[in-house]
Amino acid sequence: MKTVLQRVKKASVTVENKIIGSINTGLLIFVGISNNDSEKEINCFYDKILNLRIFPDETGKFDKSILDIKGEILIVSQFTLYADCGRGRRPSFTDAAPPSIAEEIYKKFVEKFKTSNLKIEEGQFQAMMEVSLVNDGPVTIIV
């Protein structure tokens, strides 16, 4: 599993010209599922992401977590995090889990985050999505 976290002032995801998820201050999480992933990784990522201190305190230092600021989270599936560009000019996605497996793990990932009591929004699995965001910092972290 790979995630890319973007600290945002706001973010939204649109499918077929309809906004299906939007947040204000918080995290936009892009998540990719690999062939080797299972539910085991979910708890580790959940704990790491919720407690990662990447929000500023009163002095501007990274000292607060998404839980501390009671931020919002938008989760978007993104198999392209497993793009292999090592050979040729077209990326290979052989390390990405097949959709049937990835969708099940993605849904469980989202459900786990919904237990956090934070506002959780999500994209639509396997849809062509437009993601808009205002990155705060900018801060982008790969987990």
Q: Is 126 a catalytic residue?
A: no
Q: Is the pTM of this model over 0.85?
A: yes
48: CATH: 3.50.80.10
Structural domains counted in the chain: 1
pLDDT tens-digit map of 17-46: 999 999 999 999 999 999 999 989 999 999
Q: Is 80 a catalytic residue?
A: yes
Single out the catalytic residue among 30, 78, 109, 113.
78
pLDDT tens-digit map of 79-115: 999 999 999 999 999 999 999 999 999 999 999 999 9
pLDDT tens-digit map of 116-132: 999 999 999 999 999 99
Single out the catalytic residue among 30, 45, 55, 79.
79
- What pLDDT score does 134 carry? 98
What is the per-residue burial (b if ≥16 Cβ within 10 Å, else e) of 71-90? Answer: bbbbbbbbbebbeeeeeeee
pLDDT tens-digit map of 39-75: 899 999 999 999 999 999 999 999 999 999 999 999 9
Would you say 5 and 29 are in contact if contact means Cβ atoms under 8 Å apart?
yes
- What pLDDT score does 19 carry? 98
Distance, CA of 11 to CA of 23 (rounded, Å): 5
Range of the domain at 74: 2-142
Q: Is 78 a catalytic residue?
A: yes
